[in-house]
Structure 1
Amino acid sequence: MLIASLQGFVGNFFLLCNFTNRIRYIIALPVTIIMWYIATAILIALTISMELYVPPIRPQQSYTQGYVYAIIAACMYMIAAMLLMVNMLGFFLGHYPQHFALTESQRTLILQTMLFFIWLAGGAAVFSKVESSYGRGVQDWSYVNSLYFCDVTILTVGFGDLYPTSDAGRGLVFPFSVGGIIMLGLMVSSISKFAGELGSEKIIRRHVERSRTRTFGRTVTSSLELEHRQTLHNGERPIISAPFPMQLQEDRQKTIKIADDPDEVKKNRRAGTGLQSLRRVMTMTSQVRTRKPKLILLREEKDHFDAMRHIQHDTTRFKHWYALLMSMIAFGVLWCAGAMVFWLCERYVQGMTYFQALYFCYVSLLTIGYGDLAPQSNAGRPFFVLWSLIAVPTMTILVSDLGETVINKFKHGTNGLADFTILPKEGVWHGVVDRLPAIATMLRWVQRKTQEHEAKKRLEEGFPAGPDPEEPAAMTLDELATDEPTRDELARRLPIAIRKTADDMKHDVRKRYSYEEWVEFTKLIRFSAKKEEDKETDDDEDEGLVDWDWIGEDSPMMSKDSEAKFVLDRLCESLNRYLKQVIASNSIPLERARKVLPASGLDDIGEALARAPTAEDDEFMVDDVGPRNETAMGRVQELGAQQRGVRI
């Protein structure tokens, strides 16, 4: 047993060195696999030999808890070694890199797990020694029983079947329980975060890609394409190869002729023949319209944007409910399978039935711990230690997923009910009133009159009326479409946008910008790509669009980074391009500019341009009005002042 423990320790040491990049993958992983397989072979050989040569005399005798722990350790060593072999096979086949790219949360989880098990094993040794020496009860405080006691204490289950009787043991419960519960909470939090990363990286991104591809495949951009795809979807031939029936063609031609001739229109209006023919044509057309497939007609860029936002919303909802489903499945398997094992272990010791085992597992999973049922057999207690350490993170993840879905829905429903009943919220009846046009019109008239009266009163008292002129109002989509700012105006907006996105990235990483904000950002990104005299004024440029499709593979919403980070990177690139253009347009040598341009900010850049070589320098060009660096200095200093929020 000691040799097997030593082999397992060596394997864990090499694996940890590989995680910290101390030993190469190609060396550490084979050593770990070999050590764990050797430990597995030793433990299996010992347990089988005992069963063959010195079996217990049943039912008076049974295997000790150490024997059961040996079986559990052999199984876990074998499973872990097999998983590492799969990883190494993937490395040889080119599917995995030759190193484990651990994130910060994964490294923290490894450290927290090691400290937790050291705390658990060390506490068991201390309680075993203290209670064996100073305890006044008749309880067996062997190391394995002390390990079971420490596990029940840290998990706050507290069955009461094993408890300290000495004052020293009771005093040690205070620091041990507090430290253990804190370590357990940190470890469970890291496990929950790690599970969320796994779901986000693999399953969720695959769901986003499938939804995006499906939406992109159902997207058309013109009425002709929509009509053509509708025809193919209905299993019909195109109109050019499948003309109308003869009778329908005659009616259609007659209708067109009547519509073109005013005299015929007057004559047939009284007879009604033209209307009858037109009614037949409209009947045939309506039959086609009723079979319209679920195609998305994205005529404008905003439709693409809204479609991708819908995919994001649907993906977020799918992520939460999928995580809840997986957590419930894990909880169900852990509950039912654990009850089966406890029933097999305890049925001969305390006559436990399967229903009682289900009840015991449920009480343990919720950390209620009545104490009426508790594991007593030598096989039940070791399995409870393993089972409980798996069950606690599972329950924590389940409760977290319930909070994101069911509890969140219940909370919104409760708040909505309270808004209409006992805790009325201001403006809650606006949605109901808007559905009644007469009442809504009357209320708007009253509100307008009230605002006019308040504005008149403020003017009489000497206060200005209307919005604050210093506060920029949010532009609507129509205003953005007709907005044609100059290059200098966009240059003044650029530092303000950079400061705004930097604040968003600092305070609200998950912020999602509206379509109008994206239009403004894309204008600021694109204006520095061309010179002003080469700038085209087509529709895309007026709308501020960029060279990506919102539901395409290069969409900013498909980026792994947040929207604020994506926009901030592009705005900084635009600022860099603009500064280079300013320097180049004013004939400042780029090498000389790099020497004098510090990286401390736009204000320092402006001061550096002021320190640039003057007209006396041979390498610096001047024109008829003086050195050109004055204009560049003024522009950059103006950008720096705007970045600080100072008006020049």
Structure 2
Amino acid sequence: MNDPGLDKPISDSQDNEKLKGDEHDAAEEDEEAMLEPNSWWLASTAFPLIAGTFGPMASAFSLCALVVHWRVYIPPGASETTGGTEIEDPKWLIGINAAQLVIALTANFFLLLNMAQRVRFSIAQPVTIIGWYLSSFTLVGLCACASGPLLIEPRDRYAFSQAYYYAAFAAVIYFIVATLMLGTVYGAWKDYYPKEFQLTMPQRTLMLQTISFLTYLIAGAAVFGHIEGWALLDALYWADVTLLTVGLGDFSPSTHTGRALLFPFAIGGIIIIGLVIGSIRSLVLERGAAKMDARRIEKERRRIVEKVQKKTDGEILKPVTDDQAPIAPDTREEMTERDRREREFTLMRTILRRAHKRQLWISLVVWGSSTMVLWLAGAAVFQATESAQGWSYFMALYFSYTSLLTIGYGDFYPTSNSGKPFFVLWSLLAIPSLTIVISKMGDTIVKEVEDLTLWIANITILPGEKGVRSALKEGATKLSGSKIFSGRRNLFTPPGILGEMGNRDSDSEDEGEARNEPDSAAQRALGDRAENEQKGANKFAKEGKQLPEDKHEYHVLLIKEIGKVMKHLRSSPPRQYTYDEWSWYLKLIGEDEGSADLHREPNTKPTGEGKGLGTGVGQKQGNDKVPDKWSWVGERSPLMGGKEEAEWVLERLVKNLEWALEGNRRANLEKRRETPENPEGTIEEKGNEGKHMEEHGSSSSSSSQQDKGKSTSFDFKKGEGK
């Protein structure tokens, strides 16, 4: 009987399936989520996150609309910018306004409770959506009344206060977030995702940080307004300009108390903003980008697989059997299964690299366009609100630009009752958006400039290790889209990405480029160690190194490899294994790249077969467990998951070692029971075994498999080598 950890896939063992813990199941579910990206991710995760962030902002604006009167009287010879006398609002308007604020706060509270899984989805979501819609429609009605029947003739002597415009902004935000949550409920009702939020701690932290910032902003405005004698909403405008480091200078503390309090207030607010922007970066640029990356990779994979199948009639992607060996397009020689798999691996690396790069540029364009719209549209609004100052569109554009970049010369600033509230709303949207754009530029434009600078240095005053000629060839290759100087050429496919099927030197070229980049001595040492490990893996692959026959030596080998992979987890950027390294690790967990038993031709459309990535998971057919067959360029490729390669390999190695040791433990228990001195086993052994059976399920023998000479197997039930 063969051991499942040596000569057959992990998924072949029924014992192994029963030994999977909750932690491993959760990891597989996370990988499955990354494998099946869909457009409903926005509705299931992004929409609730937006609602949980902007809902409290709308409530803060509603509070501003409640504590200040909506109309002001302008004396003769004065203007709106110089101020006026507030006119008391009708009691019914104040009462309705207070009621809608209570409803909105209740809606926010239920949303947070639902996200914390304190209230069921079916209860919290109707309360949240209906509450926000009621608040939105109520504020729209109140604004309509204030702009119609409540106006007093002559109208040129009266104007709306900042509170009126805060109410209008709150109504719009309530309507938008309620509509987004309606889309979330629709997706859950259609069973596109579970009816419960599975928000991570960073996502919840972002909402709490936003609430904290808004509370800090309003509280600071109230304190400084009282100290400096400012109107509350003027103080709110000043606090926003201060904490966002715009510094327009139209308001500034004039008392010693105000200036003294500015020290802790400013530094505290800037820290909170930094935390909020850091959370936005973490969620939008990392988690959101990972999801978008997965979608882009899957689309690119299908496109390339279809093109390769069309150009080569699919022969290059079919597993090599004993009676059929395809001809390599670039060498006109028969390929082994290992050669074919290496070509698949190289092609998948190229797909990943190009899809990721394309996604970075698409994301930059999307966020850059959003920021551009905020800049141009914001300038148009400022031109309208500051018409009393005679602003042209160019002046408004100039003001928006200097504010967006937090330059804040102070030569232009809003003075109208509509301009100040809009600046608060606009700045809270535009400045974080610009921060994301700058981060995206660091991954695209800035990197291209750095690469160009290094390339110019390589061909001029600072030639790299490969010399000037090699640098010129690399530049020509990139500029021509890999049409020239691209290494070995695939004769059956056009140059470019399809040519990567016959080009195994791309990884080495990337490594050569990395060696020319400036790095520290520690980084060079890590690089040398990685290179030595790769050489060892290459040697094992070329020599066809077999696994040790002795089970204890096998355990020691697993432990040594686990130690190496654990060090790879700390690599920055994340470690990417060569094909020879992958081949070696797959052999350690029971799969042979030279055998076509578990290999398949990749699909161009999702089949839904199996679960998880690559090795280690299978499908149930009756009482048997059938292993999944997979391809490096298939939908279940280990390179397609959301995990780092070192993490993926480490989990499989650790699980394999656990199963091997568990088999050894059971073999020892059986030996003790079979000894003449203790034929029935001790009570303690029985108790330990019974407890283990309750936790992991009863053991069942693995199905036997013929040893093909690829590796040595063991029967841990008997504790003997086969």
TM-score range, shorter chain: 0.5 to 0.7
Q: Which residue of 2 aligns with 1:300?
A: 340
Amino acid corresponding to residue 127 of structure 2 in structure 1:
V
CA distance in 2, matches of 1:400, 1:537: 40
2:549 is the alignment partner of 1:487: yes
1:579-615 CA-partner distances (Å, limit 9, x unpaired): 345456x56329x8xxxxxxxxxxxxxxxxxxx9966
Looking at secondary structure, tell me which structure has more helix per residue. 1
C-alpha distance 506-172 of structure 1, shift in aligned 2 (>3 A): same
1:238-283 CA-partner distances (Å, limit 9, x unpaired): xxxxxxxxxxxxxxxxxxxxxxxxxxxxxxxxxxxxxxxxxxxxxx
Q: Which residue of 2 aligns with 1:568?
A: 650
Q: Which residue of 2 aligns with 1:554?
A: 636
Match runs of 1:397-436 below 5 Å:
397-419=436-458, 421=460, 428=467, 431=470
CA distance in 2, matches of 1:70, 1:8: 13
2:266 is the alignment partner of 1:177: yes
1:62 is paired with a residue whose SS is: strand
* 1:475–1:516 Cα contact (<8 Å) kept: no
2:228 is the alignment partner of 1:131: yes
Match runs of 1:144-223 below 5 Å:
144-197=233-286, 199-219=288-308
CA distance in 2, matches of 1:180, 1:322: 33
Amino acid corresponding to residue 549 of structure 2 in structure 1:
R
2:219 is the alignment partner of 1:112: no
* 2:290–2:642 Cα contact (<8 Å) kept: no
Amino acid corresponding to residue 227 of structure 2 in structure 1:
V
Amino acid corresponding to residue 186 of structure 1 in structure 2:
L
How far residue 103 of structure 1 moved from its aligned partner, in angstroms, is 1.4
Moved more, 303-312 or 31-40: 31-40
1:451-476 CA-partner distances (Å, limit 9, x unpaired): xxxxxxxxxxxxxxxxx9xx988246
1:608-631 CA-partner distances (Å, limit 9, x unpaired): xxxx9966221479xxxxxxxxxx
How far residue 385 of structure 1 moved from its aligned partner, in angstroms, is 0.1
1:352 is paired with a residue whose SS is: coil
Question: Which structure has the larger Rg over C-alpha atoms?
Answer: 1
Pick from 50, 54, 70 the counterpart of residue 167 of structure 2.
70
Moved more, 481-490 or 322-331: 481-490
1:192 is paired with a residue whose SS is: helix
Q: Which residue of 2 aligns with 1:9?
A: 105
Q: Which residue of 1 aligns with 2:115?
A: 19
* 1:219–1:298 Cα contact (<8 Å) kept: no
Q: Which residue of 1 aligns with 2:358?
A: 318
How far residue 165 of structure 1 moved from its aligned partner, in angstroms, is 1.1
CA distance in 2, matches of 1:168, 1:577: 69
- The higher relative CO (CA closer than 8 Å, separation ≥ 6) is in 2
CA distance in 2, matches of 1:568, 1:308: 21
2:535 is paired with a residue whose SS is: coil
How far residue 412 of structure 1 moved from its aligned partner, in angstroms, is 2.4
1:53 is paired with a residue whose SS is: coil
C-alpha distance 556-50 of structure 1, shift in aligned 2 (>3 A): same
Q: Which residue of 2 aligns with 1:43?
A: 139
Pick from 502, 511, 516 the counterpart of residue 575 of structure 2.
511
1:472-522 CA-partner distances (Å, limit 9, x unpaired): 882465761432424336554222111112222355582211101011111
* 2:534–2:581 Cα contact (<8 Å) kept: no
Alpha carbon RMSD of aligned pairs, Å?
A: 3.5
CA distance in 2, matches of 1:404, 1:559: 21
* 1:221–1:298 Cα contact (<8 Å) kept: no
2:158 is paired with a residue whose SS is: coil
CA distance in 2, matches of 1:359, 1:433: 43
Amino acid corresponding to residue 346 of structure 2 in structure 1:
D
1:207-232 CA-partner distances (Å, limit 9, x unpaired): 111111222223359978669x9xxx
Pick from 360, 368, 392 the counterpart of residue 399 of structure 2.
360
How far residue 197 of structure 1 moved from its aligned partner, in angstroms, is 4.4
CA distance in 2, matches of 1:337, 1:573: 56
C-alpha distance 25-541 of structure 1, shift in aligned 2 (>3 A): closer
How far residue 322 of structure 1 moved from its aligned partner, in angstroms, is 1.2
* 1:509–1:564 Cα contact (<8 Å) kept: no
CA distance in 1, matches of 2:147, 2:312: 79
Sequence identity, in percent?
36
1:140-180 CA-partner distances (Å, limit 9, x unpaired): x1000000000000111111111111111111111111001
Amino acid corresponding to residue 445 of structure 2 in structure 1:
V
CA distance in 1, matches of 2:158, 2:123: 46
1:326 is paired with a residue whose SS is: helix
C-alpha distance 372-432 of structure 1, shift in aligned 2 (>3 A): closer
Unaligned runs of 5+ in 1: 133-140, 230-288, 290-296, 436-467, 528-535, 593-611, 622-648
* 2:241–2:247 Cα contact (<8 Å) kept: yes
Pick from 431, 440, 443 the counterpart of residue 392 of structure 1.
431
Match runs of 1:202-601 below 5 Å:
202-219=291-308, 300-347=340-387, 349-419=388-458, 421=460, 428=467, 431=470, 474-475=535-536, 477=538, 480-485=541-546, 486-488=548-550, 490-507=554-571, 510-526=574-590, 539=595, 547-583=629-665, 588-589=669-670
CA distance in 2, matches of 1:51, 1:537: 75
1:280-336 CA-partner distances (Å, limit 9, x unpaired): xxxxxxxxx9xxxxxxx9961100000000011112211211111111111111011
2:241 is paired with a residue whose SS is: helix
